[in-house]
């Protein structure tokens, strides 16, 4: 029986009139995988119940010509913790991956990674949240029980073994996974890494198969940090530099491109 992966996604959406609401509602309600839509024009808020990834839902909204920013994620009944990892590497690979603990034994992993070569890429939680030497300082796979590497469905596996994500011809991997061993409260402060090649899930016969899945170099990584659930993120503007949530989406987290005129 296929597991239900429907969650609630809270978006801030630039809307100014009732026609904006109609356009966004029409686009979402006409999309397979969207179960329910609630829109608050005054609060510029759209709540979507969907089995699609957050990036897929955001793309549907933005095809109406309105900008959208994901502000919160939650389960249909409950969620026990939410976390996020912003992935980046030395090249063009970057992405956002969110973790939502739906129950004691169900963790949903929702993400989009861009800039990958088409094909499968290993995805793993690593033991250390240390980026001082880039992805090289993230340590080994998160493996608190001392097991050998395996597939997500295996009982004998690292807790951090999330298998592969598949990048399309455009270099984007958009995915929603559900894991029974991962716990949000155990991985906050650790790191998430996407690799250059396919994880053989411990079945490849290579000396590294039982250690890393022989999935190649570490392409991009990010520290897993606590994130907002539904209605827990009231932010409209960054207090440090006056950047609105709309401007923030187009700027780097820090550095020259982050500065505003007032800071120069």
Spell out the domain ranges in the chain.
7-76+237-248, 81-226
Could you tell me which CATH number the domain at 81-226 has? 2.60.40.200
pLDDT, tens digit (0-9, with 9 covering 90-100), for 11-55: 999 999 999 999 999 999 999 999 999 999 999 999 999 989 888
Q: Which two tokens stand for residue 53?
A: 């990834």
CA-nearest of 73, 29, 38 to 55 is 73
Q: What are phi and psi of 10, to 5 degrees?
A: -105, 120
Residues of the chain with pLDDT under 50: 1-2, 236-248, 251-264
CATH of segment(s) 7-76+237-248? 3.30.70.100
Long-range contacts of residues 115-118, Cβ cutoff 8 Å, at least 24 apart: 115/91, 115/171, 115/220, 116/167, 116/171, 116/172, 116/173, 116/194, 116/219, 117/167, 117/171, 117/196, 118/167, 118/168, 118/169, 118/171
Nearest to 199 by CA among 237, 152, 145: 152
Asked whether the domain spanning 81-226 has the same topology as the one spanning 7-76+237-248, the reply is no
Angle between helix axes 54-62 and 18-29 (nearest 10 degrees) is 130
Q: Which tokens sit at 209? A: 């198969």
Q: Residue 118: which residues within 8 A CB-CB, separation 6 or more?
A: 167, 168, 169, 171
């Amino acid at each position: 029986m296929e597991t239900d992966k429907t969650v609630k996604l809270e978006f801030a959406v630039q809307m100014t009139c009732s026609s904006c609401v109609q356009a966004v509602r029409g686009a979402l309600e006409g999309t397979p995988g969207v179960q329910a839509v609630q829109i608050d024009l005054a609060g510029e808020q759209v709540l979507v119940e969907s089995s699609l990834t957050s990036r897929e839902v955001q793309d549907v909204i933005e095809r109406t010509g309105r900008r959208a920013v994901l502000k919160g994620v939650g389960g249909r009944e409950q969620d026990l913790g939410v976390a996020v990892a912003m992935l980046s590497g030395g090249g063009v690979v970057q992405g956002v991956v969110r973790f939502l603990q739906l129950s004691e034994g169900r963790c949903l992993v929702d993400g989009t990674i861009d800039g990958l070569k088409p094909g499968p890429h290993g995805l793993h939680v690593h033991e250390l949240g240390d980026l001082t030497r880039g992805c090289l300082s993230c340590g080994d796979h998160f493996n608190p029980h001392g097991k050998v590497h395996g597939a997500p469905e295996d009982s004998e596996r690292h807790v951090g073994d999330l298998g592969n994500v598949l990048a399309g011809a455009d270099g984007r991997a958009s995915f929603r996974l559900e894991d029974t061993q991962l716990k949000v409260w155990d991985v906050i402060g650790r790191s998430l890494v996407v690799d250059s090649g396919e994880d053989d899930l411990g079945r490849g016969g290579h000396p590294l198969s039982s250690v890393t899945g022989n999935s190649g170099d570490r392409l991009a990584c990010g520290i897993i940090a606590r994130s907002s659930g539904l209605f827990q993120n009231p932010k409209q503007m960054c207090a440090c530099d006056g950047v609105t949530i709309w401007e923030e989406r187009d700027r780097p987290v820090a550095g020259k491109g982050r500065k505003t005129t007032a800071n120069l």
